[in-house]
Amino acid sequence: MAFYEHTFVGKQDLTSKQIEGLVSKYTEIIKKSGKILKTENWGLLNLATKIKKNSKGIFVHFKFEGKDEVVKDLEKKLIIENDVIRFLTVKYNKLDLDKEYFKSDK
Protein backbone atom coordinates (compact mmCIF):
# COMPACT_ATOMS: atom_id res chain seq x y z
CA MET A 1 0.00 0.00 0.00
CA ALA A 2 1.11 3.53 -0.75
CA PHE A 3 0.70 6.84 1.06
CA TYR A 4 -1.41 9.64 -0.39
CA GLU A 5 -2.34 13.25 0.27
CA HIS A 6 -5.69 14.25 -1.17
CA THR A 7 -7.15 17.76 -1.16
CA PHE A 8 -10.51 18.85 -2.47
CA VAL A 9 -11.99 22.33 -2.77
CA GLY A 10 -15.67 22.76 -2.02
CA LYS A 11 -17.85 25.63 -3.22
CA GLN A 12 -17.63 28.79 -1.15
CA ASP A 13 -21.30 28.83 -0.17
CA LEU A 14 -21.44 25.37 1.47
CA THR A 15 -22.56 25.15 5.08
CA SER A 16 -20.44 23.44 7.73
CA LYS A 17 -22.97 20.60 7.80
CA GLN A 18 -22.56 20.06 4.04
CA ILE A 19 -18.76 20.04 4.42
CA GLU A 20 -19.02 17.50 7.24
CA GLY A 21 -21.22 15.39 4.96
CA LEU A 22 -18.63 15.49 2.18
CA VAL A 23 -15.82 14.63 4.59
CA SER A 24 -17.71 11.64 6.02
CA LYS A 25 -18.73 10.47 2.53
CA TYR A 26 -15.15 10.44 1.23
CA THR A 27 -13.76 9.09 4.51
CA GLU A 28 -16.01 6.04 4.08
CA ILE A 29 -14.79 5.56 0.50
CA ILE A 30 -11.17 5.63 1.67
CA LYS A 31 -11.86 3.31 4.63
CA LYS A 32 -13.29 0.60 2.35
CA SER A 33 -9.79 -0.52 1.42
CA GLY A 34 -7.48 2.03 3.02
CA LYS A 35 -6.69 3.78 6.27
CA ILE A 36 -7.15 7.48 7.09
CA LEU A 37 -4.09 8.84 8.86
CA LYS A 38 -5.15 12.48 9.21
CA THR A 39 -7.93 14.83 8.11
CA GLU A 40 -7.52 18.61 8.10
CA ASN A 41 -10.18 21.21 7.37
CA TRP A 42 -8.28 24.26 6.11
CA GLY A 43 -11.42 26.38 5.88
CA LEU A 44 -12.42 29.12 3.44
CA LEU A 45 -9.44 30.38 1.40
CA ASN A 46 -9.08 32.72 -1.56
CA LEU A 47 -8.45 31.16 -4.97
CA ALA A 48 -5.80 32.61 -7.29
CA THR A 49 -8.31 32.65 -10.15
CA LYS A 50 -12.05 32.12 -10.27
CA ILE A 51 -13.14 28.53 -10.74
CA LYS A 52 -16.73 27.97 -11.88
CA LYS A 53 -17.66 31.51 -10.71
CA ASN A 54 -16.14 30.93 -7.24
CA SER A 55 -13.43 33.29 -5.96
CA LYS A 56 -13.06 31.38 -2.67
CA GLY A 57 -13.21 27.73 -1.74
CA ILE A 58 -13.40 25.49 1.32
CA PHE A 59 -10.32 23.27 1.42
CA VAL A 60 -10.28 19.79 3.01
CA HIS A 61 -7.10 17.71 3.15
CA PHE A 62 -6.75 13.96 3.76
CA LYS A 63 -3.60 11.96 4.46
CA PHE A 64 -4.20 8.25 4.00
CA GLU A 65 -2.73 4.88 3.19
CA GLY A 66 -4.31 2.71 0.54
CA LYS A 67 -4.18 0.97 -2.80
CA ASP A 68 -4.46 2.51 -6.26
CA GLU A 69 -8.08 1.34 -6.51
CA VAL A 70 -9.04 3.62 -3.61
CA VAL A 71 -7.72 6.66 -5.45
CA LYS A 72 -9.48 5.68 -8.68
CA ASP A 73 -12.79 5.21 -6.85
CA LEU A 74 -12.37 8.46 -4.90
CA GLU A 75 -11.59 10.52 -8.00
CA LYS A 76 -14.40 8.89 -9.99
CA LYS A 77 -16.90 10.01 -7.34
CA LEU A 78 -15.38 13.51 -7.03
CA ILE A 79 -15.65 14.18 -10.77
CA ILE A 80 -19.44 14.01 -10.61
CA GLU A 81 -19.78 15.79 -7.22
CA ASN A 82 -21.50 19.17 -7.75
CA ASP A 83 -20.27 20.69 -4.47
CA VAL A 84 -16.57 20.10 -5.26
CA ILE A 85 -14.87 22.44 -7.73
CA ARG A 86 -11.33 20.96 -7.75
CA PHE A 87 -9.34 18.08 -6.25
CA LEU A 88 -5.78 16.77 -6.29
CA THR A 89 -4.23 13.49 -5.13
CA VAL A 90 -0.48 13.08 -4.65
CA LYS A 91 1.31 9.77 -3.99
CA TYR A 92 4.22 9.62 -1.51
CA ASN A 93 6.73 7.05 -0.35
CA LYS A 94 6.56 8.44 3.20
CA LEU A 95 4.16 10.95 4.82
CA ASP A 96 4.94 13.70 7.31
CA LEU A 97 2.00 13.59 9.73
CA ASP A 98 3.32 16.35 11.99
CA LYS A 99 3.24 19.19 9.42
CA GLU A 100 -0.02 21.12 9.21
CA TYR A 101 0.00 23.67 6.39
CA PHE A 102 -2.78 25.96 7.61
CA LYS A 103 -2.75 25.38 11.36
CA SER A 104 -4.54 28.07 13.32
CA ASP A 105 -2.64 29.56 16.26
CA LYS A 106 -5.85 30.33 18.18
pLDDT in tens, 65-100: 988 899 999 999 999 999 999 999 999 887 667 666
The C-alpha angle with vertex 51 and arms to 28 and 5, in degrees rounded to 5, equals 35
CATH number of the domain bearing residue 60: 3.30.70.60
Number of domains in the chain: 1
Contacts 24+ apart (CB under 8 A), 22-28: 22/60, 22/81, 22/83, 22/84, 23/60, 26/62, 26/74, 26/77, 26/78, 27/62
pLDDT digit string, tens, across residues 19-56: 999 999 999 999 988 899 999 999 999 999 999 899 99
Q: Is residue 99 a part of any domain in this protein? A: no
Domain of residue 15, residue span: 2-85
| Residue 63 maps to a domain | yes
- pTM (two decimals): 0.85
